[in-house]
Amino acid sequence: MSQLSRAVPAVLVTACLATLLVIGAAPSAGDDLVTTDRWQLSVLRLRQAWPLSKGQGVLVAVLDTGVDGRHPDLAGAVVHGPDLTGTGRRQSRRGHHGTAMAALIAGRGHGEGHGVIGVAPAARVLSIRVTLEVGDPLRARGRSAGHDALARGIRYAADHGADVISMSLGGGGGSWRGSAAEQRAVRYAISRGAVLVASAGNDGATANRKNFPAAYPGVIAVGAVDRRLRVTRFSNRQGYLSVVAPGTGIVSADGRDSYRAGDGTSSAAAMVAGIAALIRAAHPDLPPHLVRRAIELGTTRRPATGHDSSYGHGVANALLALRRADLLAGTPTAPARPATRPAGRTAGSPPSRTPVVLGLVLLSAGMSARLIVRQGRRGRRSA
């Protein structure tokens, strides 16, 4: 979960989000409210990566507190799966943390350049509720989730076509120890071709405990860095850490129609899940271990030893990860398809062949003319 989150009214933060998270938006009043989010675009090199992939056709399962698909930045992007918390219809806060993570992965923004644009804005989100909000009264009474909720959520995601499974959670409720059911579920999902991503945890400055599901073999474990690309104090430092990503002052959606700014490895993990979606869209057949390898090799600030417990393999970078995926797949990434079709074409219609045919006709005519001239010259010489 995020170490720190503070709700911000939508009316106040929309202008800031337009400036900080949406390419091409003009600066506007109120930019001093949120000044820490522009950096994630350049760190991840999203401007350069998006022409290659935006996550088209990829389904990302968000195992969290639920996702509110009514948020304008997620309109049309969310498919709702089950609530596995066992709370039923009892009064329960829901959808704040999960909505924030979903927007960082696949937010589309809204209106004229407003709102949050996620790392993979063309991907879809499968919401599976496996835990309760930190401030939920039911959680405070010791009811954090249903029996084996995470394990069942992982299996549900794998069985329902999830290409990527994002788990920005951990800690408490036995997750410091993990479980056999969860480990089996992780292996099952990987065998079905899903890429699993999880937050490394936020108690790096204190107990620095092994955190599950990040610690399960095969899961991409993600820590957090600040704007200076230094590992944050709260980010857990462990030998299984894969990479680090932006995790301080991150603005995202919150609930139905507002926004939040927060710190934590949760946001970092969501962004790396977005990178996995970009790779999966570009190379649908690349197996999970090679997607993970592409992300780990496509980093900056790589430790001198190649890996350490603080940075993992380095700072995640969407463009470099896509390039590494190209090498691992043996096929270069084709540019992403434009969001709009040229005027005069209908959906699914093939590109016009007129320019090609015209070019061939002109080439044939030119070659015929050259042949006639040569034959004429030869005739004069023989005469």
Query: Looking at the DSSP assignment, which residues form a beta bridge with residue 61?
Result: 126, 165
Catalytic residues: 64, 97, 266
Residues 145 and 84 sit within 8 Å (Cβ to Cβ):
yes
* 8 A C-beta contact, residue 291 and residue 324: no
Instruction: Give strand pairing partners of 64.
Output: 129
**224 - beta bridge partners?**
245
Q: Phi-psi bin for 164: left (phi > 0), alpha (psi -120 to 50), beta?
A: beta
Question: What does each C-alpha distance from 235 to 2, 20, 225 come to in angstroms?
Answer: 11, 24, 8
Give yes or no for a contact between 281 and 120, defined as CB atoms under 8 angstroms apart.
yes
Kindly tell me the burial class for residue 354, based on how many C-beta atoms sit within 10 Å of its own C-beta (0-12, 13-18, 19 or more): exposed
Terminal C-alpha separation, the chain = 93
- Cβ neighbours for 11, distance < 8 A, ≥ 6 positions apart: none
Angle between helices 318-329 and 288-297 (to 10 degrees): 130
